[in-house]
């Protein structure tokens, strides 16, 4: 949606502006949020202009000074109040997510739990993760060398619609705990949960404006990307991630990009077939397949392929779509439904066989979960992010072939491997930021594991200690503890300095006794 960011100006006869622009009035445009399952109006939010975004960033800048100066314990107390208020509102929040996004209430409540576990972890870990580290000073033995971590200032968090509280909280919690203020731009499809989070923060955290929300569509996000924030944490599609990185290059604003995925699952012949099938069905169909770490393609070794496929089909046929007790809810947007339909039609046209569901089993925002076999690597469903309830299963002759096909992707977010013998080695061969072994998507729930991808799935890490330090600036300090006659930081060197430096090189790294002792030491240990 396009918004006008320039206030109206009068011009003189030459066409040049002669009246300074008035302060930007709040935008009159609004976004209406409709329940994808019923079409009912859930609420509306303003479409904020670039000027309004800049004002929010300025308020956050002021807040960051006070917030960043607090001790970890003080920030922990404030964030603890925030955490408790979210927990106390969990039913309301789950209901809002359910109505705004279309997912079942239970799935929405699990999302709130996951968001809280990350907030809790960030609060508890921030002090340790940001503790100054004494590091070796190497040949500068007369120095104390330390690495320190300090808040960056203001973080822009731009989020998607598929997990409207869990996904942004993966950045918001860690950024706040590290001492930054946050300006959050939720998806235009699910902004109400962001507005609610900012309201909870405003009434629980003593420092005002430490978490604000700016609402609108892509143009509001673009304005935030071009603003004076100190870092942009973006979660969304690869296409938007590239646009944000280009916009951020204007100010060299650092970016953290959590983008799309095409997660592969590999099932070796010694896997527990029943458990693997159960995992595949959950991994591919949770959140109606609208998860960045959904299982999007499955490679199964020939020896167990038929048993695996039969079990998957049984499991999928037992699932219910829609209704209060449905396993799969409504798809959040018709635009996403159209992408899924296109991928299914492409697969069928290229020879894939539909075992259940299929391109015709779509009605409005509801898609019946689909199992596809006879799939090949050139199909959209095996190459591009489908982001829907589809389980494509390919037969492979060996684990080596499965690894080759898994790694034949521009994406590299999550993955899953199943088997017994050498299964950890198998996990290490998959080119992805994260791998679950004999499970699916578990890495997202383990708060101390860094989360993020490689390739077109993005870079940077949220969650864990890395997720805290991602929102800090690293400061290296070198402090002289005692003086040496041969100081490399002074021009006042002895006359034979050249010979001494040369002697040092030979002693330490050449064939000298110290170097030989060092090599022997390294061989032993
Ligand atoms: P999207 O890229 O369409 O939108 C994401 C956010 O970016 C929205 O808030 C949107 O308003 C904003 N935006 C759009 N254009 C912008 C611009 N030019 N500048 C700045 N902001 C802009 O993504 P989506 O459809 O909301 O989310 C689905 C995608 O998110 C999928 O690809 C999914 O894989 C990905 N995702 C990734 C992760 C992860 O952790 N890697 C997690 C969840 C979702």
Q: Which of 9, 31, 35 lies closest to 333 in space, CA to CA?
A: 35
Range name among 4-18, 34-48, 450-464, 505-519 with the lowest pLDDT average: 4-18
Domain boundaries of the chain, sorted by first residue: 4-259+466-473, 263-450, 486-524
Report the percentage of the chain scoring pLDDT > 90. Answer: 86
> ∠350-356-361 over CA atoms, to 5°?
85
Range with the lowest mean pLDDT among 19-23, 289-293, 338-342, 507-511? 19-23
Question: What 3-state DSSP class applies to 444?
Answer: helix
Q: Where does 263-450 sit in CATH, by number? A: 3.40.309.10
Residues 278-288, mean pLDDT to the nearest whole number: 98
Beta strand extents in 351-442 (DSSP E only): 353-356, 362-363, 366-367, 370-373, 390-396, 415-418, 436-437
pLDDT value of position 493? 85
Separation between Cα atoms, residue 96 and residue 105, nearest integer Å = 9
Is 100 a residue whose pLDDT tops 80? yes
Report how far apart the first and last C-alpha atoms of the chain are (Å, whole number).
Answer: 61
- Predicted TM-score of the model (pTM): 0.92
The confidence score (pLDDT) of residue 12 equals 33
Check residue 26 and give its pLDDT. Answer: 63
Annotation says 258 is catalytic? yes
C-beta of residue 432 within 8 angstroms of C-beta of residue 274: no
Mutate to test the pocket of ligand 1, among 236, 286, 334, 434 (most ligand atoms within 8 A of CB): 236
Out of 8-22, 272-286, 314-328, 505-519, which region has the weakest mean confidence (pLDDT)? 8-22
Question: How far is residue 98's CA from residue 461's CA, in Å, rounded to a whole number?
Answer: 28
**Identified catalytic residue from 78, 107, 111, 292:** 292
Helical (H) or strand (E) element with 424: helix 423-429
Return all residues near 226 (Cβ < 8 A) that are at least 6 apart: 50, 247, 250, 251
**Topology alike, domains 4-259+466-473 and 263-450:** no
Q: Which atom of ligand 1 is nearest to the CA of 336?
A: 25
| Nearest Cα residue to 271 out of 310, 293, 300 | 300
Which member of 52, 100, 188, 258 is catalytic? Answer: 258
301 SS3 class: strand
The CATH number of 4-259+466-473, from 3.40.50.2300, 1.10.150.120, 3.40.605.10, 3.40.50.620, is 3.40.605.10
- Is residue 467 within 8 A of residue 174, CB to CB? The reply is yes
Radius of gyration, alpha carbons of the chain: 27
Is residue 427 a contact partner of residue 104, using CB atoms and an 8 Å limit?
Answer: no
Residue pair 271/419 in contact (Cβ under 8 Å)? The answer is yes
| Confidence category of residue 520, pLDDT binned at 50, 70, 90 | confident
- Residue 219 scores a pLDDT above 50: yes
At residue 521, the pLDDT reads 72
The residue-averaged pLDDT of 30-52 equals 96
Supply 48's token pair: 């904020």
Task: Please state the rounded mean pLDDT for residues 413-437.
Answer: 98
pLDDT band at 2 (very low <50, low <70, confident <90, very high): very low
User: 40-43 long-range contacts, Cβ below 8 Å, gap at least 24?
Assistant: 40/99, 42/96, 42/99, 42/100, 42/192, 43/100, 43/192
CA distances from 435 to 71, 299, 314, 418 (A): 36, 15, 26, 10
Question: What is the model's pLDDT at position 365?
Answer: 96
Q: What is the pLDDT of residue 142?
A: 94
Residue 216 CA: which ligand 1 atom is closest? 11
Question: Which pLDDT belongs to residue 116?
Answer: 98
> What span, in angstroms and rounded, lies between the C-alpha atoms of 191 and 523?
58
Give the percent of the chain with pLDDT over 70: 94
List, chain by chain if needed, residues with CB within 6 Å of any ligand 1 atom. 158-163, 167, 185, 187-188, 217-218, 221-222, 225, 235-237, 240, 243-244, 258-261, 292, 385, 387, 413, 453
Q: Are 379 and 399 in contact (CB under 8 A)?
A: no
Q: Which atom of ligand 1 is nearest to the CA of 333?
A: 25
């Amino acid at each position: 949606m396009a918004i006008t960011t320039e206030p109206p100006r009068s011009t003189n006869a030459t066409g040049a502006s002669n009246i300074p622009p008035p302060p930007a009035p709040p935008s009159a445009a609004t976004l209406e949020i409709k329940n994808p399952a019923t079409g009912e109006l859930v609420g509306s939010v303003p479409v904020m202009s670039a000027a309004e975004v800049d004002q929010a960033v300025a308020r956050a800048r002021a807040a960051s000074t006070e917030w960043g100066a607090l001790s970890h314990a003080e920030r922990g107390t404030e964030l603890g109040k925030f955490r408790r208020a979210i927990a106390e509102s969990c039913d309301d929040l789950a209901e809002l997510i359910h109505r705004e996004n279309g997912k079942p209430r239970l799935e929405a409540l699990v999302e709130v739990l996951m968001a809280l576990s990350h907030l809790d972890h960030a609060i508890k870990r921030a002090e340790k993760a940001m503790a100054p580290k004494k590091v070796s000073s190497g040949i500068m033995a007369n120095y104390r060398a330390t690495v320190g971590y300090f808040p960056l200032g203001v973080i822009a968090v731009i989020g998607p619609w598929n997990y409207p509280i869990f996904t942004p909280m993966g950045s918001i919690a860690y950024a706040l705990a590290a001492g930054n203020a946050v300006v959050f731009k939720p998806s235009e499809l699910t902004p109400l949960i962001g507005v609610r989070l900012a309201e909870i923060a405003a009434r629980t955290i003593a420092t005002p404006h430490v978490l604000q929300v700016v609402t609108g569509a892509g143009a509001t996000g673009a304005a935030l990307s071009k603003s004076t924030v100190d870092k942009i944490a973006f979660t969304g599609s690869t296409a938007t991630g590239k646009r944000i990185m280009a916009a951020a290059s204007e100010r060299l604003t650092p970016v953290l990009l959590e983008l799309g995925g095409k997660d592969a699952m590999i099932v070796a012949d010694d896997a527990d077939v029943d458990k693997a099938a159960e995992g595949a069905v959950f991994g591919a169909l949770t959140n109606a397949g609208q998860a960045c770490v959904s299982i999007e393609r499955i490679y199964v070794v020939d020896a167990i392929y038929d048993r695996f496929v039969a079990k998957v089909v049984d499991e999928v046929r037992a699932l219910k779509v829609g209704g209060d007790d449905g396993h799969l809810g409504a798809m959040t947007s018709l635009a996403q439904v159209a992408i899924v339909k296109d991928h299914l039609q492409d697969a069928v046209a290229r020879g894939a066989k539909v075992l259940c569901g299929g391109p015709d089993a779509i009605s409005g925002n509801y898609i019946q979960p689909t199992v596809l076999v006879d799939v090949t690597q050139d199909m959209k469903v095996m190459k591009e992010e489908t982001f829907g309830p589809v389980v494509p299963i390919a037969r492979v002759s060996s684990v080596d072939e499965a690894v080759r096909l898994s790694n034949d992707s521009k994406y590299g977010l999550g993955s899953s491997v199943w088997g017994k013998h050498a299964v950890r080695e198998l996990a290490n061969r998959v080119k992805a930021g994260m791998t679950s072994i004999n499970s699916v998507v578990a890495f997202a729930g383990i708060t101390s594991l860094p989360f993020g991808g490689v390739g077109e799935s993005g870079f940077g890490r949220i969650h864990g200690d890395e997720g805290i330090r991602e929102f800090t600036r690293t400061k290296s300090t070198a402090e002289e503890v005692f003086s040496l006659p041969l100081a490399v930081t002074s021009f006042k060197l002895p006359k034979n300095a050249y010979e001494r430096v040369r002697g040092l090189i030979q002693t330490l790294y050449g064939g000298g006794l110290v170097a030989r002792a060092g090599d022997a030491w390294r061989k032993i240990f």
